[in-house]
Amino acid sequence: MTKSFKVKNPATGELVSEVNINSKEEIEQALENGHLSFKKWSKINAHTRSGYLKDWSNKIQENKEELAKLMTLENGKPLKESLGEVDYATSYIDWYAEEAKRIYGRTIPAAAETKRIIVSKQAIGLVAAITPWNFPAAMMTRKAAPALAAGCTFIVKPAEDTPLTTIRLIELAHEVGIPTDVIQYVIGDGKEVGEMFTSSEYVRKITFTGSTPVGKSLIKNSADTIKHVTMELGGHAPLIVAQDADLDFAVSQTIASKFRNAGQTCVCANRIIVHEEVVEAFSEKLAEEVKKLKVGNGLEEDVQIGPIINEKGYEKVVSQIEEAIEKGAEVLTGNEYNVDKEQGCFFVYPTVLKNVDSTMKIMQEETFGPVAPIISYKDLEEAVTIANNTPYGLAAYFFTNDYKTGTYLHDHLDFGIVGWNDGAPSAAHVPFGGMKESGLGREGGIEGIEPYLETKYLSIGNL
């Protein structure tokens, strides 16, 4: 009997679709096919590969409404955010369609007149990706586009909660003529498929977006066959509001950063660190605006905050809020819930907490929910100490119009992505990635194609 996953709408509990789980044999076959098709795909010239990517991007745009609706149905994010994600997802394909044509080598002056030296780049082989549920489209294209542009073949295992968007995107790739063995998906349990990917001799690279513990195990398991790895892992982003900041602007950007996807992104502001002179005014303004956010089914008009993806995610958010309140945090708004455990629907109303301190779990762990905890600081040194006091180093934000304050914070924050008066810095043309336990490598920008390429050095002698 074929096993399957039920994909449910997290806003209503309704069944969206049932997806068959691939058998071990099917996954092994897919890996072999991906490996065999690499020879041909990597030899196709870069301009032709670029053309395929452009066609794929156009096809996705033609199907934008359908894809966005599917994404909201399986993920719960507001439709407007899903439409935005389709654009964000295609922006990676567009960017790497261009970068495919710019995979440059170089020549090096030799140390002898009789020699010449040439350095060239070559695709690394079959790439296996594991993607999360919070950006079902963009986290896949951010990996697939540079892989295909470089000449690699690609296989992805999407998250169990949200496989449908990925499946549809890959069908569209096949519709525009990208060979079926060049870009593939497999459906299965994360751990089992992960182990098949890491132990396969056909796979030359693992690229993963997800939690830090899973990332660590993928790195360990990749060691036996020395695979390349790119890891986009957890975050715990600080957002610092300096004394001189434009508070209204800082509030609007805090909301953009904190409450997107109901707070379920790895770059969401997770700790709001505000100068003691402005903490009262900022907290009040933030709570006032947060109260206006509309919670509900993402398909309904004007909804800004959808559900938490599943019960595990909900339990984590609630336990952080409850522990903070027990330890003395003050609720300015939120700490309200709309839950139907039987149906599997978990809504957390956007919450602002004041008087938070560093002993609370919410200040130590990623929340992945719509909760903004506010802590105050006296001077910049203290702000930086609080901000860097985490094993994570993905994104950090600060708000100031003073260039010395901004320069100091930029210099001292140990994070791979820094937004100065900018709560939404992600884009296809910039290098996205974290320091410390937030990951290895970068995705996007010119950096994002390098991990799919090997360097080959040729020395010509006896000239």
Task: Tell me if 139 contacts ligand ADP by CB under 6 A.
Answer: no
Compare residues 10 and 151 and give the one whose CB is closer to ligand ADP.
10
Of the candidates 454, 458, 456, which has an alpha carbon nearest to the alpha carbon of residue 150? 454
The residue to which tokens 């180093």 are assigned: 393
Considering only residues 184 to 203 of the shown chain, the ones binding ligand ADP according to CB under 6 A are 190-191, 194
The interface with ligand ADP within residues 430-449 (CB under 6 A) comprises none
Does 324 contact ligand ADP by CB under 6 A? no
CB of 192 to ligand ADP, least distance (A): 8
- Least distance CB 190 / ligand ADP (angstroms): 2
From the candidates 232, 366, 437, 443, give the one annotated as an active-site residue.
232
Angle subtended by helix axes 279-290 and 247-259, to nearest 10:
50
Side chain identity at residue 301, one-letter code: E
| Interaction of residue 21 with ligand ADP, rule CB under 6 A | no
Q: Does residue 211 touch ligand ADP according to CB under 6 A?
A: yes
* CA-based radius of gyration for the chain: 23
> To which residue do tokens 């309140």 refer?
325
Query: How many other β-carbons are positioned within 10 Å of the β-carbon of residue 5?
Result: 16
32 is known as an active-site residue:
no
Do residues 444 and 430 touch, judged by C-beta distance below 8 A?
Answer: yes
Which of 122, 217, 252, 364 contacts ligand ADP by CB under 6 A? 217
Pairwise CA distance, residues 91 & 428, whole Å:
6
With respect to ligand ADP, which residue has the nearer C-beta, 53 or 440? 440
Q: Which residues does residue 18 pair with via DSSP β-bridges, in sequence order?
A: 6
Q: Which among 179, 232, 184, 225 has a CA at the least distance from the CA of 204?
A: 225
Judged by beta carbon, residue 71 or residue 149, the one nearer ligand ADP is 71
Task: Among 140, 159, 178, 396, indicate the residue that binds ligand ADP (CB under 6 A).
Answer: 159
Nearest to 279 by CA among 243, 252, 235: 243
210 binds ligand ADP (CB under 6 A): yes
Residue type present at position 166: T
Contacts of 4 by beta carbon, 8 Å cutoff, 6+ apart: 18, 19, 20, 21
The reply on whether position 160 binds ligand ADP by CB under 6 A is yes
Q: Which of 266, 345, 437, 443 is catalytic?
A: 266
Torsion over CA: 141, 145, 147, 151 (sign)? positive
Which one-letter DSSP state was computed for residue 267? T
Interaction of residue 132 with ligand ADP, rule CB under 6 A: yes
| 214 lies in the binding site for ligand ADP (CB under 6 A) | yes
Q: Which of 130, 173, 245, 371 binds ligand ADP (CB under 6 A)?
A: 130
Q: Which stretch binds ligand ADP (CB under 6 A): 214-222, 238-246, 255-263, 359-367?
A: 214-222
Q: Is 266 a catalytic residue?
A: yes
Catalytic residues: 232, 266
Q: Which residues bind ligand ADP (CB under 6 A)?
A: 130-132, 157, 159-160, 190-191, 194, 210-211, 214, 217-218
